[in-house]
Amino acid sequence: MYWFDDLEKYTERVAVICAGGLQKTYGELISGGDSLARRIGGRTLVFLMCSNTVESIKAYIGFLRARIVPVLVDSSIDPQLLSRLEKTYKPEYCYYTDNRASGGTTLFSHSGYTLFRTEYVRDYELFEDLGLLMTTSGSTGSPKLVRQSYQNIDSNTRSIIEYLGIIGSDRAITTLPMHYTYGLSIINTHFASGATILLNDAAVLQKEFWIMFKKYKATTFGGVPYVYEMLSKLHFDQMQLPSLRYITQAGGHLNAKLTREFLKICADKEIQMIIMYGQTEATARMSYLPWEYATKKIGSIGIAIPNGKFWIADTDMSPIEQPNVVGELVYEGPNVTLGYAQASEDLALGDERNGVLFTGDMAKRDTDGYYYIVGRKKRFLKIFGSRVNLDEVEELLTIHGISCVCAGKDDHLHVFITNPQDEDLARNFIVHNINIPRSALTFSVISEIPRSSSGKLLYSALPPIDPPRNE
Amino acid sequence: MSNLEKYNAAFIDSFGINAEKLNGLLYQSIPEWDSIGHMQLVAALEDSFQIMLETDDIIDLSSYEIGKKIIAKYGVVL
Query: How far is it, in rounded angstroms, from Cα A203 to Cα A231?
Result: 10
A305: Cα separation from own chain's centroid: 18
pLDDT of residue A102 exceeding 90: no
Which residues of chain A does B16 touch, with a Cβ-Cβ cutoff of 8 Å? 431, 438
CB-CB contact of A365 with A347 (8 Å):
no
Q: Pick A233's closest partner by Cβ from B16, B32, B39.
A: B39
Which residues of chain A does B32 touch, with a Cβ-Cβ cutoff of 8 Å? 431, 438
SS3 A303: strand
Residue length of chain B = 78
SS3 A16: strand
Give the model's confidence band at A463: pLDDT under 50 very low, under 70 low, under 90 confident, else very high.
confident
**Cα–Cα distances in Å, from A409 out to A140, A252, A380, A467, B14?**
18, 13, 9, 8, 22
Query: How far is it, in rounded angstroms, from Cα A20 to Cα A338?
Result: 39
CA distance B78 to chain A (A): 24
CA distance B3 to chain A (A): 23
Query: How far is it, in rounded angstroms, from Cα A418 to Cα A410?
Result: 24
Mean pLDDT, to the nearest integer, of A302-320? 94
Strand A303-304, strand A285-289: pairing: antiparallel
Chain A contact for B31, CB < 8 A? yes
Exposure b/e, B51-75, CB count within 10 A at least 16 = b = bebebebbbbbbbbeebeebbeeee
This complex has an ipTM of 0.84
Q: Pick B42's closest partner by Cβ from A233, A239, A384.
A: A233
DSSP bridge pairs for A412: A409
Give the model's confidence band at A222: pLDDT under 50 very low, under 70 low, under 90 confident, else very high.
very high
SS3 A131: strand
Query: How far is it, in rounded angstroms, from Cα A349 to Cα A334?
Result: 18
CB-CB contact of A25 with A197 (8 Å):
no
CB contact under 8 A, A233 and B36: no
Q: Is A37 exposed, middle or buried (0-12, 13-18, 19+ CB in 10 A)?
A: buried
CB-CB contact of A46 with A68 (8 Å):
yes
User: Closest Cα to residue B67, out of B14, B18, B31?
Assistant: B14
Chain B contact for A424, CB < 8 A? no
Query: How far is it, in rounded angstroms, from Cα A448 to Cα A19?
Result: 53
Per-position DSSP letters for A74-88, written without gaps between them: ETT--HHHHHHHHHH
pLDDT of residue A468 exceeding 60: no
CB-CB contact of A430 with A401 (8 Å):
no
pLDDT of residue A139 exceeding 60: no
Q: What is the pLDDT of residue A66?
A: 98
pLDDT of residue A380 exceeding 80: no
Q: What is the pLDDT of residue A138?
A: 54
pLDDT of residue A470 exceeding 50: no
The CA angle A394-A400-A406, to the nearest 5 degrees, is 20
Alpha helices of A103-149 — where are they, by DSSP H?
none
Q: What percent of chain A has pLDDT over 90?
A: 75
Which residues of chain B does A230 touch, with a Cβ-Cβ cutoff of 8 Å? 35, 39
Q: What is the pLDDT of residue A350?
A: 98
